[in-house]
Amino acid sequence: MFIEPNISGEKTGWIEVICGSMFSGKTEELIRRLKRVKFANLKVEIFKPAIDTRYDETQVVSHDANAILSTPIDNPQAILLMANDVDVVGIDEAQFFGEEIVNVCQTLAMQGIRVIVAGLDMDYKGKPFGSMPQLLAVADYITKLHAICVKCGNIASISYRKTMQDGQLLLGEKDTYEPRCRKCYQKGASIQ
Protein backbone atom coordinates (compact mmCIF):
# COMPACT_ATOMS: atom_id res chain seq x y z
CA MET A 1 0.00 0.00 0.00
CA PHE A 2 1.54 3.31 -1.11
CA ILE A 3 0.88 6.29 1.11
CA GLU A 4 1.79 9.69 -0.26
CA PRO A 5 4.26 11.67 1.83
CA ASN A 6 2.73 14.43 3.91
CA ILE A 7 4.74 17.54 3.01
CA SER A 8 2.46 20.03 4.78
CA GLY A 9 3.24 18.67 8.25
CA GLU A 10 -0.50 18.47 8.94
CA LYS A 11 -1.78 15.19 10.36
CA THR A 12 -3.56 13.27 7.59
CA GLY A 13 -6.15 10.60 8.21
CA TRP A 14 -7.67 7.97 5.98
CA ILE A 15 -10.01 4.97 5.95
CA GLU A 16 -8.89 1.41 5.18
CA VAL A 17 -11.54 -1.29 4.75
CA ILE A 18 -10.74 -4.99 4.95
CA CYS A 19 -13.65 -7.04 3.60
CA GLY A 20 -14.56 -10.51 2.41
CA SER A 21 -16.50 -13.59 3.43
CA MET A 22 -16.29 -15.47 6.69
CA PHE A 23 -13.04 -17.41 7.12
CA SER A 24 -11.19 -15.14 4.67
CA GLY A 25 -8.83 -13.68 7.28
CA LYS A 26 -10.36 -10.21 7.76
CA THR A 27 -9.91 -10.10 11.52
CA GLU A 28 -6.48 -11.70 11.21
CA GLU A 29 -5.44 -8.91 8.84
CA LEU A 30 -6.94 -6.24 11.10
CA ILE A 31 -5.02 -7.63 14.09
CA ARG A 32 -1.80 -7.81 12.03
CA ARG A 33 -2.07 -4.16 11.00
CA LEU A 34 -2.95 -3.00 14.52
CA LYS A 35 -0.03 -4.91 16.08
CA ARG A 36 2.35 -3.28 13.59
CA VAL A 37 0.99 0.14 14.55
CA LYS A 38 1.45 -0.64 18.25
CA PHE A 39 5.01 -1.80 17.54
CA ALA A 40 5.62 1.63 15.99
CA ASN A 41 4.52 3.20 19.31
CA LEU A 42 1.47 4.87 17.83
CA LYS A 43 -1.56 5.33 20.06
CA VAL A 44 -4.32 2.90 19.10
CA GLU A 45 -7.94 2.36 20.16
CA ILE A 46 -9.78 -0.77 19.02
CA PHE A 47 -13.54 -1.30 19.00
CA LYS A 48 -15.94 -4.14 18.29
CA PRO A 49 -19.72 -4.59 18.51
CA ALA A 50 -20.81 -5.54 22.03
CA ILE A 51 -23.08 -8.23 20.55
CA ASP A 52 -20.08 -10.18 19.21
CA THR A 53 -19.11 -12.39 22.15
CA ARG A 54 -18.27 -15.51 20.12
CA TYR A 55 -14.68 -15.86 21.33
CA ASP A 56 -14.32 -13.19 24.00
CA GLU A 57 -16.28 -10.28 25.45
CA THR A 58 -13.48 -7.70 25.26
CA GLN A 59 -10.96 -8.98 22.73
CA VAL A 60 -11.08 -9.02 18.97
CA VAL A 61 -10.23 -12.65 18.19
CA SER A 62 -9.57 -14.24 14.81
CA HIS A 63 -10.70 -17.76 13.88
CA ASP A 64 -7.15 -19.00 14.47
CA ALA A 65 -7.11 -17.49 17.98
CA ASN A 66 -4.95 -14.40 17.46
CA ALA A 67 -6.31 -11.66 19.71
CA ILE A 68 -6.01 -8.00 20.59
CA LEU A 69 -7.74 -6.10 23.39
CA SER A 70 -10.69 -3.96 22.33
CA THR A 71 -13.58 -1.96 23.71
CA PRO A 72 -17.03 -3.44 23.05
CA ILE A 73 -19.60 -0.79 22.08
CA ASP A 74 -23.30 -0.68 21.22
CA ASN A 75 -23.26 2.60 19.33
CA PRO A 76 -20.53 3.80 16.92
CA GLN A 77 -20.91 7.35 18.25
CA ALA A 78 -19.10 6.09 21.37
CA ILE A 79 -15.96 5.77 19.25
CA LEU A 80 -15.83 9.55 18.83
CA LEU A 81 -15.98 9.98 22.60
CA MET A 82 -13.30 7.37 23.33
CA ALA A 83 -10.85 7.99 20.49
CA ASN A 84 -9.10 10.95 22.09
CA ASP A 85 -5.51 11.73 21.17
CA VAL A 86 -5.08 8.58 19.07
CA ASP A 87 -3.23 7.92 15.84
CA VAL A 88 -5.17 4.84 14.74
CA VAL A 89 -8.65 3.43 15.32
CA GLY A 90 -9.42 -0.21 14.57
CA ILE A 91 -13.01 -1.43 14.16
CA ASP A 92 -13.96 -5.10 13.76
CA GLU A 93 -17.25 -6.54 12.45
CA ALA A 94 -18.37 -3.16 11.08
CA GLN A 95 -21.35 -4.73 9.29
CA PHE A 96 -23.09 -5.03 12.67
CA PHE A 97 -23.15 -1.25 13.15
CA GLY A 98 -25.81 0.97 11.62
CA GLU A 99 -25.19 3.60 8.97
CA GLU A 100 -23.75 6.03 11.54
CA ILE A 101 -20.47 4.03 11.38
CA VAL A 102 -19.77 5.68 8.02
CA ASN A 103 -19.99 9.21 9.45
CA VAL A 104 -17.92 8.18 12.47
CA CYS A 105 -15.14 6.84 10.22
CA GLN A 106 -15.21 9.95 8.05
CA THR A 107 -15.10 12.23 11.10
CA LEU A 108 -12.10 10.36 12.49
CA ALA A 109 -10.27 10.53 9.15
CA MET A 110 -10.93 14.28 8.95
CA GLN A 111 -9.38 14.59 12.42
CA GLY A 112 -6.17 13.09 11.03
CA ILE A 113 -6.73 9.56 12.34
CA ARG A 114 -5.99 6.38 10.38
CA VAL A 115 -9.14 4.22 10.54
CA ILE A 116 -8.86 0.48 9.85
CA VAL A 117 -12.22 -1.27 9.51
CA ALA A 118 -12.93 -4.97 8.98
CA GLY A 119 -16.27 -6.50 8.07
CA LEU A 120 -18.32 -8.81 5.92
CA ASP A 121 -19.15 -7.20 2.60
CA MET A 122 -21.99 -9.67 1.91
CA ASP A 123 -24.47 -11.55 4.07
CA TYR A 124 -25.36 -15.23 3.83
CA LYS A 125 -27.65 -14.50 0.87
CA GLY A 126 -24.84 -12.87 -1.10
CA LYS A 127 -26.38 -9.41 -0.61
CA PRO A 128 -24.51 -6.28 0.58
CA PHE A 129 -24.30 -6.33 4.37
CA GLY A 130 -25.29 -3.33 6.49
CA SER A 131 -23.29 -0.16 5.92
CA MET A 132 -20.35 -1.97 4.32
CA PRO A 133 -21.20 -0.73 0.78
CA GLN A 134 -21.12 2.87 2.03
CA LEU A 135 -17.86 2.26 3.89
CA LEU A 136 -16.32 0.76 0.76
CA ALA A 137 -17.45 3.81 -1.22
CA VAL A 138 -15.73 6.30 1.10
CA ALA A 139 -12.63 4.18 1.83
CA ASP A 140 -9.23 5.39 0.73
CA TYR A 141 -7.88 1.82 0.64
CA ILE A 142 -9.76 -1.45 0.21
CA THR A 143 -8.47 -4.97 0.78
CA LYS A 144 -10.82 -7.74 -0.39
CA LEU A 145 -9.86 -11.12 1.04
CA HIS A 146 -11.13 -14.52 -0.05
CA ALA A 147 -11.55 -17.81 1.74
CA ILE A 148 -11.29 -21.23 0.08
CA CYS A 149 -14.50 -22.98 -0.95
CA VAL A 150 -14.99 -26.02 1.27
CA LYS A 151 -16.74 -27.87 -1.58
CA CYS A 152 -14.41 -27.40 -4.57
CA GLY A 153 -11.26 -25.56 -3.44
CA ASN A 154 -11.77 -22.42 -5.57
CA ILE A 155 -11.76 -18.95 -4.05
CA ALA A 156 -14.80 -18.32 -1.90
CA SER A 157 -16.51 -14.98 -1.58
CA ILE A 158 -19.83 -15.93 0.04
CA SER A 159 -20.59 -17.11 3.58
CA TYR A 160 -22.98 -20.02 3.12
CA ARG A 161 -25.34 -20.53 6.07
CA LYS A 162 -25.72 -24.22 6.89
CA THR A 163 -28.89 -23.77 8.96
CA MET A 164 -32.42 -22.90 7.87
CA GLN A 165 -32.63 -20.02 10.35
CA ASP A 166 -33.71 -16.72 8.76
CA GLY A 167 -32.61 -13.20 9.59
CA GLN A 168 -29.52 -11.35 8.48
CA LEU A 169 -27.95 -11.27 11.94
CA LEU A 170 -26.94 -14.71 13.20
CA LEU A 171 -23.61 -15.00 14.96
CA GLY A 172 -21.93 -18.29 14.28
CA GLU A 173 -18.81 -20.20 13.41
CA LYS A 174 -17.95 -23.30 11.39
CA ASP A 175 -21.03 -25.07 12.72
CA THR A 176 -23.25 -22.36 11.18
CA TYR A 177 -21.32 -21.02 8.17
CA GLU A 178 -18.85 -22.18 5.57
CA PRO A 179 -17.10 -20.34 2.76
CA ARG A 180 -18.25 -21.15 -0.76
CA CYS A 181 -17.54 -20.04 -4.32
CA ARG A 182 -20.40 -18.72 -6.46
CA LYS A 183 -21.19 -22.09 -8.08
CA CYS A 184 -21.13 -24.12 -4.87
CA TYR A 185 -23.13 -21.43 -3.09
CA GLN A 186 -25.82 -21.60 -5.78
CA LYS A 187 -25.90 -25.41 -5.64
CA GLY A 188 -26.47 -25.28 -1.87
CA ALA A 189 -29.01 -22.47 -2.09
CA SER A 190 -31.08 -24.37 -4.66
CA ILE A 191 -31.31 -27.40 -2.33
CA GLN A 192 -32.86 -25.35 0.49
Asked if the structure places residue 4 within a domain, the reply is no
The question of whether 99 is a catalytic residue gets the answer no
93, 99, 100, 178: the active-site residue: 93
Domain range for residue 67? Answer: 14-145
Asked if the structure places residue 40 within a domain, the reply is yes
Question: CA 46, 49, 53: angle at the middle one, nearest 5?
Answer: 105
Asked if the structure places residue 154 within a domain, the reply is no
pLDDT digits (tens, 9 = 90+) for 70-90: 788 999 999 999 998 999 999
Confidence of residue 66 (pLDDT cuts 50, 70, 90): low
Would you say residue 190 has pLDDT above 60? no
DSSP the chain: -------S-----EEEEEEESTTSSHHHHHHHHHHHHHHTT--EEEEEETT--SS-SSEEE-TT--EEE-EEESSTHHHHHH-TT-SEEEE--GGGS-THHHHHHHHHHHTT-EEEEEEESB-TTSSB-TTHHHHHHH-SEEEEE-EE-TTTSSEE-EEEE-S---SS-----TTTEEEE-HHHHHHHHHH-
Q: What's the rounded mean pLDDT across residues 31-45?
A: 93
Asked if the structure places residue 153 within a domain, the reply is no
Would you say residue 109 has pLDDT above 80? yes
Give the range among 11-25, 52-66, 127-141 with minimum mean pLDDT. 52-66
pLDDT for res 87:
96
pTM of the model: 0.84
Would you say residue 144 has pLDDT above 80? yes
**Strand-strand pairing, 147-148 and 141-145:** unpaired
Total number of domains constituting the chain: 1
Q: What's the rounded mean pLDDT across residues 31-49?
A: 92
CATH of the domain at 29: 3.40.50.300
Asked if the structure places residue 125 within a domain, the reply is yes
> Which residue type is seen at 131?
S
